[in-house]
Amino acid sequence: MLAVTLRHPGKLSIREKPVSEPTPLVRQRRGHGRTTLRDVAAAAGVTAITVSRYLRSPGQVAPATAAGIRQALSATGYVPNKQAGVLASGRGSIVAALVPNLAHSIFAETLQGLSRPLEAAGLELLVAASGYDIEREESQIRTLLGWAPRALVITGRHHTPGALKLLREAHAGGCTVIEMWDHHGRGEQGFAQVGFNHRAAGQAMARHLLDRGHRRLAYVDSAVAGDYRARERGDGFVSAGQAAGATVQRLTAPAGEPITAGREVVGVLMAMPDRPTACAFANDHLGCGALLGAQAAGLRVPQDLALVGFGDFELAAHLAPGLTTLAPPRQEIGARTAELLLAQLHGAARVQRLKLECPLVVRGSTAG
Amino acid sequence: MLAVTLRHPGKLSIREKPVSEPTPLVRQRRGHGRTTLRDVAAAAGVTAITVSRYLRSPGQVAPATAAGIRQALSATGYVPNKQAGVLASGRGSIVAALVPNLAHSIFAETLQGLSRPLEAAGLELLVAASGYDIEREESQIRTLLGWAPRALVITGRHHTPGALKLLREAHAGGCTVIEMWDHHGRGEQGFAQVGFNHRAAGQAMARHLLDRGHRRLAYVDSAVAGDYRARERGDGFVSAGQAAGATVQRLTAPAGEPITAGREVVGVLMAMPDRPTACAFANDHLGCGALLGAQAAGLRVPQDLALVGFGDFELAAHLAPGLTTLAPPRQEIGARTAELLLAQLHGAARVQRLKLECPLVVRGSTAG
DNA sequence: ATGAAAGCGCTAACAT
DNA sequence: ATGTTAGCGCTTTCAT
């Protein structure tokens, strides 16, 4: 095209004034220094597209050509530029994942469960941590969507209106959206889900304690304001307890390191006018802390105070007595999310919602 | 450009044969449906470049124009395409991080420590898990480099020759390379490092036990073959023990769930001809398992067997007695890596190597 | 303060 | 089996 301009100067101008003649139109090269497909092609004595073809389907180029390309490839140390590839093909390989916290074992294990199958499928994982803040989540969704990910995996089903708009548009534009760690109602937003119902989980905690004869219950919420799933478990716990005629008190753990917070809560529980005989917690850190605190206070667990946690953290199994808890399928959520995601990328039409089990693991803290 | 072709058909051909006349050169549009800068520009009555300018430096466009653009932006729900931006500008915003395992608390916390400051600086985190396999690591490095990341954060300093070549080239091409979780020698490869010396850490474990009078020691390696850092700690432990005239036996934990493996190791230790009085472990899972196993076997800890772990996992602090352990600065490694990385991106010339502390936390398992 | 043209590095479409 | 052309959506350079 440039050649044309130079061969027929003047004639080609579609402006009123002709192009100023002396300007040679040789702009600064903007290349970023890295080896490109053209470099490889030049070294192999072919054109760029042939190398491109070789890389994507080696069978399509002649064996002799392929050999030359292989040589050129290793001689130049070529690393394909993904941005260019994605831009040209419209098919990216990024999966974006958004979790509340990368360090929390439950989400870390989910990501680990997700990463293996994705890697096997040639997909890459872009992650962000929202800190349980849905405003921040919205801005992260916007940023992540800028990479035109094949799929966006997000934690939970509560998002800002702006986030929902983005998610819906992304979904409409062919980006698979999966909400993990929750499973609720009929999937109002039309996104795939992989998780379990937290209200039901809370009810299961209450039922277990009711079955063991407790009639004065308590639920201790997490100090993390944005953890609505813990709150829903609390709602389920309270409603199930009250439906069975028990009294249910609800309190919030003090802020700070959660095991310490759990220790401190014991004092509060014991000081209550209608002192509960059993208590459930938003998570195992609080529950384990309470177990340790109860023992330190000379209480017998479960005789004086029965305890149930959530999460099946490692600590819960190894204290004496062990902490009864709900065991969410942490890894499985990741693995199943990957499965579902890959199925969608391979053309599965239906938006699926997978309801997983969150079994109760009974240990000494309720079953002395 | 297309308009030109249509206005002067024939005249424009630079080939020998003229373009076959009926072909209107109207190729299939390849657009991917999403709102582009042009769409926004059209809605605002300006051209794309003005919108682009507004997004990057709002001050450069006239207030009235800016208002129109803002309106168009929100009306269209525009999400910038990062691939296009990076390709055009040569300045990406991706930081790639490569860890052995996303679920291991030590690495998960490091990533969490990394993610916050990166996000604040407008950078995004692309992650991969190598499974302690340096071959796999090499292929992941290649893949990650395809995104032309601003920085590549990698775990440890042992890589395949191919990986080293990639890292050196990336580094030469302006990609900051940081090895984390290790600090060794004089940084042979010339990459930045943020971590501590594992050999010295192992020596510290031995010294602690020697100081308490132990003369028959053991070190239990992890069953994970690729965890060379644990092996280096073992090397340090063995050499320090032997230098002090102690006998040091070394064994490898059985494969499988590490706490269980730790329990099983106790039997092996007790059956040894020259039965050790103190044992160090590659990690706290093994150490905690051994602590539980020793208690189950009726041994007194630390009188019959003293134990030291590594990692300061949560469990270690809450068993009774607590497990003495080395506490690596998990979060800090991430946070400092981020600092160093941002300094480099802002033009810091010198490749820095940060040596962090890995303090010994003395608990009941050695200090009865 | 705004725009036109060119090009980032690659691949899809259309040749041969 | 290989090449040519155009264009992905953006930013840079140069011009007004």
Q: Which residues are CB-neighbours of B313 under 8 A, at least 6 positions away? A: A314, B105, B283, B284, B285, B288, B325
Q: What length is written for chain A?
A: 368
Partner-chain contact A112 B126, CB within 8 Å: no
Name residues 45-104 of chain B with a Cβ under 7 Å from nucleic strand C. 46-47, 49-50, 53, 60-62, 64-65, 84, 87-88, 90
* Structure confidence at residue B33 (pLDDT): 77
Q: Which residue of B has its CA nearest to A319?
A: B319
As a whole number of angstroms, the distance between CA B297 and CA B292 comes to 9
* Structure confidence at residue A9 (pLDDT): 33
Q: Which residues are CB-neighbours of A248 under 8 A, at least 6 positions away? A: A206, A217, A218, A219, A237, A238, A241, A242
As a whole number of angstroms, the distance between CA A85 and CA A217 comes to 59
Query: What string of DSSP letters covers B218-256?
Result: EEEE-S-TT-HHHHHHHHHHHHHHHHTT-EEEEEEPPSS
**In degrees to the nearest 10, what's the CA dihedral of B62, B63, B64, B67?**
120
Type of residue at A177: V
Angle at A102 between CA A332 and CA B348, to 5 degrees: 145
HSE-up of B276 (CA within 13 Å, CB side)? 24
Question: Could you say which DSSP state residue B60 is in?
Answer: G
* Structure confidence at residue B32 (pLDDT): 73
In strand D, the nucleotides that come within 7 Å of a protein beta carbon are: 1-16
As a whole number of angstroms, the distance between CA A344 and CA B110 comes to 32
Q: Nearest CB to A103: which of B30, B108, B125?
A: B108
As a whole number of angstroms, the distance between CA B13 and CA B148 comes to 38
What are A22's two structure tokens? 């002396």
What are B125's two structure tokens? 């985190």
Considering only CA atoms, name the residue closest to the C1' of nucleotide D14: A27
Q: Which residues of chain B are modeled with pLDDT < 50?
A: 1-27
What are A251's two structure tokens? 């309190």
pTM: 0.90
Q: Which residues are CB-neighbours of B239 under 8 A, at least 6 positions away? A: B199, B203
Residue numbers in A near B128 (CB within 8 A): 115, 119, 124-125
Element (H, E) at A119: helix A105-120
CA B277 to chain CA mean position, Å:
37
As a whole number of angstroms, the distance between CA A367 and CA A360 comes to 12
Evaluated on CA atoms B92, B97, B102, B107, the torsion sign reads: negative
Question: Could you say which DSSP state residue A355 is in?
Answer: E
- Residue A4 beta carbon within 7 A of nucleic strand C: no
> Residue A218 in 3-state DSSP?
strand
Partner-chain contact B86 A90, CB within 8 Å: no
Q: What is the pLDDT of residues A311-335, one digit of tens each?
A: 999 999 999 999 999 999 999 999 9
Q: Which residues are CB-neighbours of B176 under 8 A, at least 6 positions away? A: B150, B151, B152, B192, B341, B344, B345
Residue numbers in A near B30 (CB within 8 A): 90
> Residue A182 in 3-state DSSP?
coil
What are A354's two structure tokens? 């997978």
Q: Which domains does chain B carry? A: 15-80 (1.10.260.40), 87-196+331-358 (3.40.50.2300), 198-327 (3.40.50.2300)
As a whole number of angstroms, the distance between CA B203 and CA B208 comes to 9
Q: How many CB atoms sit inside 10 A of residue B10's CB?
A: 9
Q: Which residue of B has its CA nearest to A101?
A: B112
pLDDT at A37 over 60: yes
* Structure confidence at residue B350 (pLDDT): 82
Q: pLDDT class for A28, splitting at 50, 70, 90?
A: low
| Residue A353 φ/ψ region, left for φ over 0, alpha for ψ in the -120 to 50 degree band, beta for the rest | beta
Element (H, E) at A154: strand A151-155
* Structure confidence at residue A7 (pLDDT): 30
d(CA B143, nearest CA chain A) in Å: 8
Q: Which residue of A has its CA nearest to B89?
A: A30
Q: What is the pLDDT of residues A168-199, one digit of tens each?
A: 999 988 899 999 999 987 777 889 999 999 99
Backbone angles phi, psi at B193, to 5 degrees: -135, 145
Specify the residue for token string 């898990």: B129
Give A247's strand partners: A216
* Separation between the CA of A347 and the C1’ of C12 (whole angstroms): 21
Considering only CA atoms, name the residue closest to the C1' of nucleotide D13: A27
Q: pLDDT class for A14, splitting at 50, 70, 90?
A: very low
Query: What string of DSSP letters covers B289-340?
Result: HHHHHHHHTT--TTTT-EEEEES--HHHHHSSSPPEEE---HHHHHHHHHHH
Residue numbers in B near A103 (CB within 8 A): 105, 108-109, 111-112, 331
* Structure confidence at residue A123 (pLDDT): 97
